[in-house]
Amino acid sequence: MPAYPAILTPDEGTVMVTFPDFPEAVTSGADETDALIQAADCLEEVVAARIKDREDIPTPGRLAAGQRLVPLASGTAAKVLVYATMRECDLRKADLGRLLGWNQKQVDRLLDPRHASRTDQIDAALLAMGRRLEMAVVSVKDARA
């Protein structure tokens, strides 16, 4: 799953979070733990907005000293891969719908991070574009820089 670097900054009794890869994403929490929870939610929202607005979703930048990694939820990460593959293949939602024999609402839900899509739907969409999803489990012990 992609994880994005976040900058945590103390700010008058709270902790502000910003993302170098997403300048529009700013959130805060009561403390570091809460800030990271809020950061994960903020990241999901900014990704959803970019998909809705048909904007690029950047690959995560390098983790710099003092930054923290905020991972995308696995379901959102899979949807980002479908969306990125569509853009790479120069496909619109209507094109993907035709490839899959799905209606517009089904494709909209597939790309909506707030909707829990089944993995077989993700697999079908990627396969229709000549791709397949691979997963890996990685250690998170080095998540702090």
pTM: 0.85
Sheet order of strands, 14-19 included = 22-29, 14-19, 3-11, 68-71
pLDDT for position 145: 46
Helix intervals (H) in the chain: 32-52, 74-88, 93-100, 104-111, 119-128
CATH architecture of the region 74-128: Orthogonal Bundle (1.10)
Contact 98, 141 (CB under 8 A): no
CA 45 to chain centre: 9
Q: pLDDT 10s digit of each residue in the chain, 145 long?
A: 689 999 999 999 999 999 999 999 999 999 999 999 999 999 999 999 999 999 999 999 999 999 999 999 999 999 999 999 999 999 999 999 999 999 999 999 999 999 999 999 999 999 999 999 998 887 766 555 4
Q: Domain 3-71: which CATH class?
A: alpha beta
pLDDT for position 137: 82
Nearest to 74 by CA among 142, 6, 139, 133: 133
pLDDT for position 139: 78
- Do 74-128 and 3-71 have the same topology in CATH? no
pLDDT for position 136: 83
Give the three-class secondary structure for 39: helix
Residue spans of the domains in the chain: they are 3-71, 74-128
pLDDT for position 99: 96
